[in-house]
Amino acid sequence: MKILRKILYFLLFLFIFLSILPYFLWLNIKEKRDDKVLYKNSVFMRVDGVELHYRVFLPIKNEEKNQKDTIKTAQKGVLMIHGFSGSTYSWQKNVDSLTKKGLLVVLVDLPAFGFSDKSTTISHANSYKSKLLWKLLENIQNNQKNAVTKWHFVGHSMGAGTALAMAHQNPQQTDKIVLVGGAYSGKMQSGWFGYVLAYPPLVRWVEVLATNYAYNPAYFEKLLKGAYSQNPNEKDIQGYYSPFEQEKNITRAILAMARNSADSISMDFSALQDRITLIWGENDKWVPIKNAENFIKKYPKSTLKIIKNAGHCPMETHNNEFNGLLGKLFF
């Protein structure tokens, strides 16, 4: 019994020690965002108390060679929603091909990522995020007087769930839905792990480890190499790394997302399935193509397109093939 008591005392001491220690360790983060990392067309809008960073690209019509006319109104638009660790940068190779064909293009940073809100109290349920984004689109149309009557939604990886939720919430204003490496089962649950992530010393430990060992160009180069299935260039590394370098509370926000992603609404997409196209990289190791096949089994009227030799981010690494697929779907 004495040995057992000593073991318990030691474990209690160790627990207390490890709970206190991270507060004495340094966080390698900047206190203020450098506005130089933002884009020329970066805009911030507060929607239901949540600050969203987004970018709007007006449609351009080529009526004659070497002549471009900016169109102030468009009948259709496309909202492109990034995946985990992504931002509006994720779609930088896809915008021009869409605006040149007359589409209004909106890119948005989801809460916890890019330069959007880093609050730890935001709900990350897809049904809630879809409401935020529908209000954002409404405000964009009101501010810029763009008469968009139908929207296409393109969601990558984690963003696929939000794209589907937006279509589910407002099918009348939805045209095509494109899921890029991101088949979605319909319901997210945070489970017991969410409660573990709420323990403040654990949050602090993750911050210490992330800011000192993960938030650096070398780590993001390795991360992107896995996602791209090829070596990234310096521009891509910096494009993904910048928000993590500049945003003070990004780690806490991401952990809060893991806790607050449970969705009380179970969604069925049977009525939308003929509008859904899945685009997958042949060599996607992050979200195996089996996920796409399972989605097709459940919704057989949806379509699967595979891009050869591509990884998890075909819209970036194989943008010509990807843009060609979107062109055939949208026009």
CB 153 within 8 A of CB 166: yes
Distances (CA, A) of 50 to 86, 166, 273: 18, 17, 31
Q: In terms of residue numbers, what domain contains 204?
A: 2-330
The β-bridge relationship of strands 104-108 and 50-57 is antiparallel
Smallest CA-to-CA distance from 181 within 60, 35, 314, 34 is with 314
Instruction: Report the pLDDT value the prediction gives residue 293, as an integer from 0 to 100.
Output: 94
Q: pTM for this one?
A: 0.89
- The number of C-alpha atoms within 13 Å of 242 and in the hemisphere containing its C-beta is 18
Please name the helix (run of DSSP H) or strand (run of DSSP E) that holds residue 174, with its range, or none: strand 174-180
Q: Which amino acid is at 95?
A: V
Q: How many Cβ atoms sit within 10 Å of the Cβ of residue 282?
A: 14
Domain count of the chain?
Answer: 1
Mean pLDDT by runs of 10 across the 331 residues of the chain is 76 75 72 70 95 94 42 75 96 96 95 94 93 95 77 97 96 97 66 66 82 89 96 96 84 88 84 97 94 94 97 98 96 86
Q: How far apart are CA 242 and CA 76, in angstroms?
A: 32
Instruction: Report the pLDDT value the prediction gives residue 246, as an integer from 0 to 100.
Output: 73
**Domain holding 221: CATH number?**
3.40.50.1820
Smallest CA-to-CA distance from 304 within 327, 331, 270, 273 is with 273
Residues near 18 by Cβ (< 8 Å), separated by ≥ 6? 201, 205
Instruction: Report the pLDDT value the prediction gives residue 115, as an integer from 0 to 100.
Output: 93
